[in-house]
Structure 1
């Protein structure tokens, strides 16, 4: 499509609205506004128009402003708690110091649009300008109640830094990465870090590009408050009934909840089994040495564990590693004296075990040395001795509730 065709036919440039659904109410909480162009009976996305670097910014801003006006006209007819999301690149947002956008929003505020309903989805891709000035502009917008959502910000290495600096109201997570098994584990790790950061700064997670049920379940399980994608609803020229999917989402969430509760019940049952098994072994070796304890553990947990060791309450290892190789179990004396208190949750778990006098089965994590996904069962031996048993991925794989 020739850009001039669009610029000379602005009457056929229209906003479409893709619904965004909330987890807490299972209804439409807002709409992402996307540009469309009617041509010879076809509906054409304007995405390529805004991404074309050959088109001057003033032309893009003109089309953006037109879409903004038409969308806000529609927003005047919507419920007062419905939000509208507008995509803006950093370059276009900084055009004329951001005044065209703000002035238009202030005009619609006079007509009854509460600016707290406006969400700006920001992208910094290839932005060559001064980020400090850009951040200042965003802070200025927020003084009017305008919310900020981050869609994609610079390179992956700088993403979390920018999130920390801007403290946006909403973080958008693109679920297209779930299609690639090769990216699966890395994606999960980054998402976990992102969810922790979102919780710290009080941001909501919005999962986009949900195209299949398993992606909706993934979004729900990983703390998503808002959901968007073709699996739920396509962009539409009109605003849909807010309760369009209420019954369907309630049913899906019920299925997800039921599945997770069963899985958690199995997890806690497994943790109790480990507690009973290890307690029995420890009691048998109560008067013996740590070597005798390890011999009994190897005999009983040969198909479960691949590493075991003992630390004191400060995290200093006072036994060797007992490690399983292809040729059997070996003793690794070089680990004696190493300290593990720097590991996340280590001291917290020590205190829990000391107070509850009970073992703890850890969450899933990637083992530093083997690179495998594992869990660790920790058990209080004495007032100052704590046993750690690393559970192999092979065992976890055979017990779905542990993955």
Structure 2
């Protein structure tokens, strides 16, 4: 698109609105404003115009302000104080005048009935080239007016979690477009998991965007998404979508997810109980026939050859009290791990306490093994008063068992 077509046709620049849905109410909680221009009876996106840094800053700001002013006027006609208006701003342009012109528009509209706590400012952290401290202070200033902040496009490009944490947004928008790839890398899922942990720590809600198919919605629901946006739910439209447009569909979808997750958790519980009994029976069978822990591990490897690829024993402080026994083509002893300490691993000590008080084994979450790179689970079992058995279950075995991956 020729930038001149935009600048000479400002009266044809209009806002479109894409609905954002809530998990708890299954209805619309707000609309994101998207710039469009009507050319030859068709509405074309202004995304490229706003991202083109060859266009003078003042021209992009002028177009942005025109869209914002019209969008707020139309938003006020809804007369619904529970809805939010999500407004995209380039943080670099915002900081040119330290955010004053943007705030002036909002304060002017406040005189017409706009409540500033209905405004959600969306910025993209990884595009900002200025002083992050100054941006932080600006956002802090905006918050005194009730304006909320969302960090956009997380997951689409590299994002600095430290900077995001400093900005303390109210909402983190996670892009699920990479999930449409035939095989997203495990690192992608790990990054999303890290973002979800960050959101929990700083008290931010997760908004999953670019949801285009059902399984993306299911992923968002299962991974802490409070808000959802994408073509699967609503496409950008010139008019505001009715608040309960997708309520029945979302309710049905969520019930399907709930039933599936409950079944998976039931299978996981039953597997854990059965595997706990299996380990108990093996230990009773082995009894006191072993001379040392290495001998015990050799016997356990024979009994658990169908499911495990690594077995070892630690004390309650995380110090390994045995060698590793590790299976590649055959079982091998790895003496170098004796007395290694694993208490630094997340939840290690908490899990030790869990075994001590429950006096039964349990299954870990799925995680990537450092040595093999495969997705695995670990079954932990209290062996004696202060020694604990760890059995790493292979990916191939988990794949065959329903609900373990």
TM range (shorter): over 0.9
TM-score (norm. length: structure 1): 0.96
Distance in 1, Cα, partners of 2:122 & 2:138? 14
Could you give the per-residue CA deviations for residues 257-297 of structure 1, whole angstroms, max 9, x where no partner exists? Answer: 11111111111111111100001111223323334533442
In structure 1, what is the Cα distance between the partners aligned to 2:165 and 2:100? 26
Name the counterpart of 1:368. Answer: 370
Other-structure match for 1:2: 2
Task: Write the deviation string for residues 231-281 of structure 1: whole angstroms up to 9, x where unpaired.
Answer: 111111111110000000000000011111111111111111110000111
Separation in structure 2 between the aligned mates of residue 263 and residue 191 of structure 1, nearest angstrom: 22
Find the aligned partners of 2:327 and 2:393 in 1 and give their Cα distance.
11
Secondary structure, counterpart of 1:205 in structure 2: strand
| Contact persistence 1:360–1:379 (CA under 8 A) | yes
- The reply to whether residue 318 of structure 1 matches residue 313 of structure 2 is no
Equivalence for 2:335: 333
5+ long unaligned stretches in structure 1: none
Rounded Cα–Cα distance in structure 1 between residues aligned with 2:130 and 2:282: 65
Mapping for residues 140-159 of structure 1, pairs under 5 Å? 140-152=141-153, 158-159=159-160
Specify whether residues 252 and 182 from structure 1 end up closer, same or farther in structure 2 by C-alpha distance, changes over 3 A only.
closer
Helix, strand or coil at the partner of 1:281: helix
Q: Distance in 1 between matches of 2:137 and 2:155?
A: 18
Q: 1:33-87: per-residue Cα shift (whole Å, max 9, x none)?
A: 0001111111111111111112111111111111111110111122111001011
Counterpart contact for 1:16–1:235, Cα < 8 Å: yes
Distance 2:402 2:95 in 1: 50
Could you say which residue in structure 2 is the equivalent of 1:298?
Answer: 301
- Structure 1's 99 and 273: CA in aligned 2 closer, same or farther, altered over 3 A? same
Unaligned runs of at least 5 residues, structure 2: none
Distance 1:20 1:155 in 2: 19
Q: Which range is displaced more, 243-252 or 286-295?
A: 286-295
Partners of 1:341 and 1:42 in 2: CA distance: 61
In 2, are the aligned partners of 1:310 and 1:388 still within 8 Å (CA)? yes
Corresponding residue of 1:127 = 128
Question: Residue 360 of structure 2 contacts residue 381 of structure 2 at CA under 8 Å; is this kept in 1?
Answer: yes
Residue matched to 2:50:
50
1:399 aligns with 2:401: yes
Aligned to 2:264: 263
Structure-2 separation of matches of 1:92 and 1:356: 57
Deviation at 1:354, TM superposition (A): 0.4
2:33 & 2:256 partners in 1: Cα distance? 31
**More divergent stretch after superposition (391-400 vs 121-130):** 121-130
| TM-score normalized by the length of structure 2 | 0.96
1:63 aligns with 2:29: no
1-structure distance, mates of 2:289, 2:202: 51
Q: Which residue of 2 aligns with 1:41?
A: 41
1:70-106 alpha-carbon deviations (Å, 9 max, x no partner): 1101111221110010111111211322111101101
In structure 2, the residue matched to 1:22 is 22
Alignment of 1:4-403 (within 5 A): 4-78=4-78, 79-152=80-153, 158-289=159-290, 290-326=293-329, 328-403=330-405
CA distance, structure 1, for counterparts of residue 396 and residue 185 of structure 2 = 18
Q: Quote the Cα distance in structure 2 between the aligned partners of 1:357 and 1:154.
A: 41
Distance in structure 1 (CA, Å) of the matches to 2:379 and 2:133: 47
SS in 1 for 2:251: helix
The verdict on how the C-alpha distance between 1:292 and 1:285 changes in structure 2, with shifts beyond 3 A counting, is farther
C-alpha distance 178-12 of structure 1, shift in aligned 2 (>3 A) = same
CA contact (8 A) 1:89 1:124 kept: no
Change (3 A) 1:156 1:314: farther
Deviation digits for residues 94-153 of structure 1 (CA, Å, limit 9, x no counterpart): 132211110110111122111111001102454333222222211111111111100147
Which whole-Å CA distance do the structure 2 matches of 1:157 and 1:55 have between them? 25
8 Å CA contact retained: 1:23, 1:227: yes
Residue 281 of structure 1 contacts residue 296 of structure 1 at CA under 8 Å; is this kept in 2? no
Cα distance in 1 for partners of 2:4, 2:370 equals: 56
Instruction: Give CA deviations for 1:163-219 in whole Å, capped at 9, x if unaligned.
Output: 111110000000111123453311110111110110111100000000000110011
**Does the Cα contact within 8 Å between 2:170 and 2:203 map onto a contact in 1?**
yes
* Alpha carbons 1:153, 1:159 under 8 Å: kept: no
